[in-house]
């Protein structure tokens, strides 16, 4: 139903539909400015050290419908993966985020860089918290994050043991 492709140089329009859309960024501090989106696109094109960002392709239509990625983060004095996902509104509610995230987890397991993967959905982000539960993450606790700068939100800390 879905496949993952590395984020490409032509994918700024898709990024605009994700991080540039107020509906998509309700739990992520609001839409990013055109400058911020271009900078993010540049970062996605030049990821290194095992950090990955993928475009989610809906196989039936061949179109890019979202993103899923994971990157190294220091968390409570430990190197872990953080994972994040987004699906454009027109394609939500069809299991695409679950399927794409399951594939990304498989890749992180294979590269075997870190034992734990964390996801930090806003406590009010019902679909994302449901995705964590479905994919076998364990709920650790809630924590306060500043993202973007000056914007505070309460997120759940979900953890998956990639070596279990
Ligand atoms: C979160 C997001 C990626 C979900 O994408 P999606 O493709 O619609 O998700 P899926 O269809 O794979 O599954 C979502 C699960 O959440 C459940 N869900 C959806 N809305 C829900 C709600 N309001 N309350 C409870 N569960 C809900 C669905 O039922 C589904 O579980 P199910 O398969 O058991 O029915 C999408 O809403 C999105 O991009 N949101 C904005 C960006 C964002 O917040 N990203 C997450 C940052 S951590």
The string of pLDDT tens digits covering residues 45-84 is 999 999 999 999 999 999 999 999 999 999 999 999 999 9
Q: What is the pTM of this model?
A: 0.95
Which ligand 1 atom is at minimum distance from the Cα of 125? 44
Domain total in the chain: 1
pLDDT in tens, 152-164: 999 999 999 999 9
Residue 155 Cα, ligand 1 centroid: separation in angstroms? 16
User: What per-residue string of b and e applies to 27-63 under the rule 16 or more CB within 10 Å gives b?
Assistant: bbbebbeeeebeebbeebeeeeeebbbbbbbbeeeee
- By most ligand atoms within 8 Å of CB, the mutation choice from 4, 97, 127 for ligand 1 is 127
CATH number at residue 73: 3.40.630.30
pLDDT tens for residues 66-75? 999 999 999 9
Minimum CA distance residue for ligand 1 atom 27: 127
Which of 116, 131, 137, 145 lies closest to 27, judged by CA?
Answer: 145
78 C-alpha to ligand 1 centroid (Å): 28
Residue range of the domain that includes 54: 2-161
Residue 40, pLDDT > 90, answer yes
């Amino acid at each position: 139903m879905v496949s993952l492709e590395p984020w490409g140089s032509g994918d700024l329009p898709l990024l605009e539909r994700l991080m540039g859309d107020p509906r998509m960024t309700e739990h992520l501090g609001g839409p990013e400015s055109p400058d911020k989106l271009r900078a993010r696109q540049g970062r996605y094109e030049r990821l290194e050290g095992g950090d990955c960002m993928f475009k989610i392709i809906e196989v039936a239509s061949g179109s890019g419908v979202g993103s899923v990625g994971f990157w190294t983060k220091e968390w409570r004095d430990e190197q872990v993966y953080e994972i994040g996902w987004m699906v454009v509104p027109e394609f939500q509610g069809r299991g695409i985020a679950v399927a794409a995230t399951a594939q990304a987890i498989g890749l992180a397991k294979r590269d075997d860089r870190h034992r734990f993967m964390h996801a930090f959905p806003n406590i009010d982000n019902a679909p994302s918290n449901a995705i964590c539960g479905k994919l076998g993450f364990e709920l650790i606790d809630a924590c306060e994050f500043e993202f973007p700068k000056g914007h505070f939100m309460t997120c759940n800390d979900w953890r998956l043991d990639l070596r279990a």
